Amino acid sequence: MKLKVGIIGLGYLGATTAVAFAKLGHEVIGIDSDSAKIAILESGRVPFYEPGLDEALVEVLAQGNIRFQTTQDANSGSADIHLLCVGTPQSKTGLGADTSYLFAALDSLAPFLLEDSVIAGKSTVPVGTAKELKAHLAQKVDFEPHFAWNPEFLREGTALQDTLLPDRIVLGTDDSWSEKMLRLLYEPITDLGVPLVSIDIPTAELVKVAANSFLATKISFINAMAEVAEVAGADAVKLAEAIGYDERIGNKFLKTGIGFGGGCLPKDIRAFSARAEELGVGHAVGFLREVEEINLRRRTRVIELAREELGSLNGKRVVMLGAAFKPETDDVRDSPAMAVAEQFWSAGANVVIHDPKALENVRRMYPHLETNDNLFDAMDGADLVVLATEWREYRDADPIQLAKLVTNRLVIDGRNALDVGDWRAANWQVLALGRNLERLPVLA
């Protein structure tokens, strides 16, 4: 059944959700107060790099299933379902989430909202936020609004597939009308056999932060093993492979390296700790502080390794391969690669950053750092190369060709993504996190 769906907030989450639901055949109205963003979307592009999304947007625009506007009006207000997709960034004053954009979204919607419309939050929020939002909205309308929570689990880089074919759909509702409408919204997906978990609203809010906390913990677990492996003469990459064969552990999210970043995992574990403190159960998730500390120590380890080889970093030319927080995105928010680059810069190194997609964002957010769009020019005269984001372009690069460009054949593999044998055969000194690679004498 075709539904009219309002998508409020057209950042990563909202834009992907809008395109995905239009692709599923629903009538989508995307709303965002940023007129520049609306103009880009109307021209058939998304304002960030996400594989496949531009093409899908062009397709749904041509089909007439989607349109965009900067404000709510009677037409958008009458949507069957309004999906709240605005950002919930870390608050400027503490570790908690800033939920003000959600309240503002409801204020704009309230004058046009119909009684039968269902509002479902998709943004990641501290547990209890939906209750506050519903109470806020109830003061602005003369009926009891249908309010639900429907967390999203998409990953940057595979956002569209994750939305169209997710592992599961989670619906948090407290009235049968909301549940019925949301089930209809997802029917094209559940018809494919995707499981749907129908639960209460606080549980749905918690599911999302619990999932991201678990993922962050898994990464920090293997990175903690890397710390031990480094002093014990062991190899954390092989250790991850060996424990990952146990189905109860699984081999996903056990890649050791400079750790997790991005717009979600870091801020979500901080916000979860902050909310748990407010609820008087901070001790229950006290381990998340450790998860973050392990994550930050891995970044510093790269600098230590560099110093062990080069001594003072002052004036050394350090080439960062990668700036994005992971491959297939141009997102540099809380990126481990950028944190490492900043530490080299603070140590006086002459840092130059290359990335296939993220350099525009780097220049905007880190104007003091040097960037270079051309991999070979960037490598010219390098004293040290650091692989910080495992883009295919770097994994496939020819170490023999790169060796001719640098001053010093020294590479730190911050993602354990390079073929150590190939690089060594090209006479590179290869250092890696969590592995005690023999330090070979590098021939001139």
Question: Which are the catalytic amino acids?
Answer: 264
Footprint on residues 111-170 left by ligand UGA (CB under 6 A):
124, 152-156
| Angle, CA 237 vertex, CA 232 and CA 242 arms, to 5° | 95
Specify whether the CB–CB gap between 442 and 410 falls below 8 A. yes
Please state, in angstroms and rounded to a whole number, the distance separating the CA atoms of residues 118 and 148: 7
Q: How many residues bind ligand UGA (CB under 6 A)?
A: 21
When binding is defined by CB under 6 A, the residue of 28, 102, 219, 382 that contacts ligand UGA is 219
Q: Work out how close the CB of 213 gets to ligand UGA at its nearest, in angstroms, rounded to a whole number.
A: 11
Q: Is 103 in the site for ligand UGA (CB under 6 A)?
A: no
When binding is defined by CB under 6 A, the residue of 171, 189, 215, 379 that contacts ligand UGA is 215
Footprint on residues 178-207 left by ligand UGA (CB under 6 A):
none
Evaluated on CA atoms 263, 282, 217, 20, the torsion sign reads negative
B/e letters for 89-122, b = 16+ CB within 10 Å, e = fewer, are ebbeeebbbbbebbeebbeebbebbeeebbbbbb
Tokens found for residue 275: 């909310």
When binding is defined by CB under 6 A, the residue of 5, 46, 53, 254 that contacts ligand UGA is 254
Q: Work out how close the CB of 420 gets to ligand UGA at its nearest, in angstroms, rounded to a whole number.
A: 18
Please state, in angstroms and rounded to a whole number, the distance separating the CA atoms of residues 276 and 203: 14
Please state, in angstroms and rounded to a whole number, the distance separating the CA atoms of residues 426 and 404: 10
Footprint on residues 261-290 left by ligand UGA (CB under 6 A):
261-262, 264-265
Q: 419: helix, coil or strand?
A: coil
DSSP category for residue 89: P
Q: Is 297 in the site for ligand UGA (CB under 6 A)?
A: no
Footprint on residues 379-438 left by ligand UGA (CB under 6 A):
none
Sole window of 70-78, 136-144, 256-264, 406-414 interacting with ligand UGA (rule: CB under 6 A): 256-264
B/e letters for 134-152, b = 16+ CB within 10 Å, e = fewer, are beebeeebeeebbbbbbbb
Q: Work out how close the CB of 51 gets to ligand UGA at its nearest, in angstroms, rounded to a whole number.
A: 13
Q: Of 69 and 203, which CB lies nearer to ligand UGA in the complex structure? A: 203
Q: Work out how close the CB of 264 gets to ligand UGA at its nearest, in angstroms, rounded to a whole number.
A: 3
- Which residues, 6 or more positions from 166, have their beta carbon under 8 angstroms from its beta carbon? 153, 154, 189, 194
Q: Work out how close the CB of 424 gets to ligand UGA at its nearest, in angstroms, rounded to a whole number.
A: 24
Q: Work out how close the CB of 219 gets to ligand UGA at its nearest, in angstroms, rounded to a whole number.
A: 4
Q: Of 122 and 134, which CB lies nearer to ligand UGA in the complex structure? A: 122
Give me the phi and psi of 405, to 5 degrees please. -95, -30
Q: Is 259 in the site for ligand UGA (CB under 6 A)?
A: yes
Q: Which residues bind ligand UGA (CB under 6 A)?
A: 124, 152-156, 212, 215, 219, 253-255, 257, 259-262, 264-265, 325-326
